[in-house]
């Protein structure tokens, strides 16, 4: 219940009380074209598919600090005092449940409001109990879990992640490769609750969790919210490839001062984030198909913790490209963004779309939600699609298909027959 979560909750309350607009949310402001261009039929997405209404949303969460959502939002420093004042009564009532915390996975934080148990399996069962209690006390008929917490240290899949049975045995034996986020995912999926992973952690991106999602008919998606610098990267890189412009190097650096920045100041957590941010270019540019253009890219990513910046992250990119006859060119981007302001509408969309997917009988990995992630989950035999425009088309075509409408191919030849 840190910066992203409280900004999301406060924003939903401000929107549904008529004090703000849901800017950045595809589910609330986006439209979807149906039929031919000449039909002029582009309803709002929320009118086209049966999404839950904002008035139907209730909120809960866990945190390793006891602060209620108002106190956490005030400390995060994302929202103005004026906006916080408008939602203080609402946020003050949202109190966290104790977190399952392991300092080995987030070395820069010290949890003071944490669960106790003899092993990770008991911790996971406590989380399951929290989910059941929240369902009862909130009177919610349907739930969605969205991981908005810190980036954990980098780990690779191991045998303990291979099957549900080995994973349970690993939890009982306190296996070191079972991260806290995995406990929340296991508890959610086995409770029939869809799960979105907003961090670059493995979490649900392991065979055991994907098998459980299929077995329990639960929708899952991830990973790592695509908010600032990588959003720009997945816009520019497709443009270079579309025009067959070459790329020598792409240097990206970030400065931020929020809790995310503090956590990423640890090399282990940074490694997890770095892997997520580095992958997009290679998948978009496909150097194996265009070796003369993209086989020798120097791609660097840096993140620096700088407390004065707070939640207002700065992402700076230097891009060295080349064109006709190998003549060199440069592009420089300086994105002075607000991390949680960009992430909050992503959380809203994922909550509403995952709830829709669950009601539609979708289960397992929801690749159509790749639009929202830096490192999209896919079936193991597929490469992930990172191009923002292809991701957008895939998302909207999935909604058309779900509602029995013709898919849009953009061929347009029928207009000229």
**Rounded to whole angstroms, how far apart are CA atoms 316 and 140?**
43
- The SS3 call for residue 333 is strand
pLDDT at 141: 96
- The answer to whether the peptide bond before residue 46 is cis (omega within 30 degrees of 0) is no
Is residue 349 within 8 A of residue 221, CB to CB? The reply is: no
Beta strands in 7-153 (DSSP E): 62-63, 97-98, 145-147
**Rounded to whole angstroms, how far apart are CA atoms 101 and 89?**
29
What sign results for the dihedral spanned by CA atoms 257, 253, 368, 408? positive
Is the pLDDT confidence value at 160 over 80?
A: yes
Is residue 102 within 8 A of residue 148, CB to CB? The reply is: no
305: β partners: 256
Q: What b/e readout covers 242-279, taking b as 16+ CB neighbours within 10 angstroms? A: eeeebbbebebebbbbbbbbbbbebebbbbbbbbbbbb
For the stretch 76-89, pLDDT in tens is 999 999 999 999 99
Out of 227-231, 252-256, 310-314, which region has the weakest mean confidence (pLDDT)?
310-314
pLDDT at 257: 83
pLDDT at 276: 66
Question: Residues, the chain, total?
Answer: 417
Diameter of the chain by CA atoms?
72
- The SS3 call for residue 65 is coil
For the stretch 337-388, pLDDT in tens is 999 999 999 999 999 999 999 999 999 999 999 999 999 999 988 999 999 9
**Rounded to whole angstroms, how far apart are CA atoms 323 and 293?**
9
Q: What is the pLDDT averaged over residues 214-224?
A: 97
* Residue 49 vs residues 27, 46, 407: alpha-carbon distances, Å: 9, 6, 15
Out of 129-133, 256-260, 306-310, which region has the weakest mean confidence (pLDDT)?
256-260
Is the pLDDT confidence value at 313 over 70?
A: yes
Q: What is the pLDDT averaged over residues 209-218?
A: 98
Residues 6+ apart with CB under 8 A from 66: 96, 112, 113
Q: Provide the phi-psi class of 35: left if phi over 0, else alpha when psi is between -120 and 50, else beta.
A: left
* Residue 320 vs residues 236, 237, 302, 317: alpha-carbon distances, Å: 12, 12, 17, 10
pLDDT at 395: 98
Out of 10-24, 139-153, 296-310, 315-329, which region has the weakest mean confidence (pLDDT)?
296-310
For the stretch 89-103, pLDDT in tens is 999 999 999 999 998
Is the pLDDT confidence value at 274 over 80?
A: no
**Rounded to whole angstroms, how far apart are CA atoms 125 and 217?**
20
Is the pLDDT confidence value at 293 over 80?
A: yes
Is the pLDDT confidence value at 240 over 80?
A: yes
Give the chain's mean pLDDT.
95
pLDDT at 268: 76
More confident residue, 23 or 150: 23
Q: What percent of the chain has pLDDT over 70?
A: 100
């Amino acid at each position: 219940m840190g910066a992203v979560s409280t900004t999301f909750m406060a924003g939903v309350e401000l929107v549904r009380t008529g004090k703000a607009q849901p800017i950045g949310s595809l589910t609330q402001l986006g439209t979807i074209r149906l039929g031919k261009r000449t039909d002029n039929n582009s309803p709002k997405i929320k009118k086209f598919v049966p999404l839950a209404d904002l008035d139907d949303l209730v909120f809960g969460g866990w945190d390793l600090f006891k602060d209620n959502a108002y106190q956490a939002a005030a400390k995060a420093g994302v929202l103005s005092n004026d906006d916080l004042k408008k939602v203080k009564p609402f946020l003050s009532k949202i109190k966290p449940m104790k977190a399952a915390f392991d300092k080995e996975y987030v070395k820069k934080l010290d949890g003071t409001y944490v669960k106790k148990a003899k092993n990770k399996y008991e911790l996971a069962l406590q989380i399951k109990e929290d989910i059941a209690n929240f369902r009862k006390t909130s009177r919610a008929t349907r739930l969605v879990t969205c991981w908005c917490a810190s980036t954990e240290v980098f780990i690779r899949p191991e045998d303990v992640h291979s099957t549900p049975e080995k994973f349970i045995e690993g939890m009982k034996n306190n296996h070191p490769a079972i991260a806290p986020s995995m406990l929340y995912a296991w508890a959610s999926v086995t409770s029939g609750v869809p799960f979105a992973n907003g961090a670059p952690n493995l979490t649900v991106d392991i065979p055991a969790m994907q098998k459980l999602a299929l077995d329990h008919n639960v929708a899952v998606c991830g990973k790592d919210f695509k908010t600032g610098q990588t959003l720009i990267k997945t816009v520019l890189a497709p443009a270079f490839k579309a025009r067959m412009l070459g790329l020598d190097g792409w240097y990206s650096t970030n400065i931020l001062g929020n809790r995310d920045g503090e956590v990423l100041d640890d090399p282990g957590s940074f490694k997890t984030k770095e892997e997520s941010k580095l992958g997009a270019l290679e998948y978009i540019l496909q150097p194996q198909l265009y070796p003369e253009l993209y086989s020798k890219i120097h791609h660097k990513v840096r993140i620096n913790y700088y407390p004065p910046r707070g939640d207002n992250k700065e992402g700076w990119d230097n891009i060295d490209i080349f064109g006709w006859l190998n003549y060199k060119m440069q592009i420089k981007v300086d994105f002075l963004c607000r991390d949680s302001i960009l992430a909050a509408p992503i959380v809203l969309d994922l909550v509403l779309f995952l709830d829709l997917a669950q009601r539609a009988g979708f289960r397992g990995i929801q690749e159509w939600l790749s639009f929202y992630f830096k490192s999209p989950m896919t079936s193991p035999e597929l490469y992930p699609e990172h191009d923002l425009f292809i991701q957008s088309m895939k998302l909207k075509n999935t909604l058309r298909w779900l509602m029995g409408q013709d898919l849009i191919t953009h061929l347009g030849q029928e207009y000229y027959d």
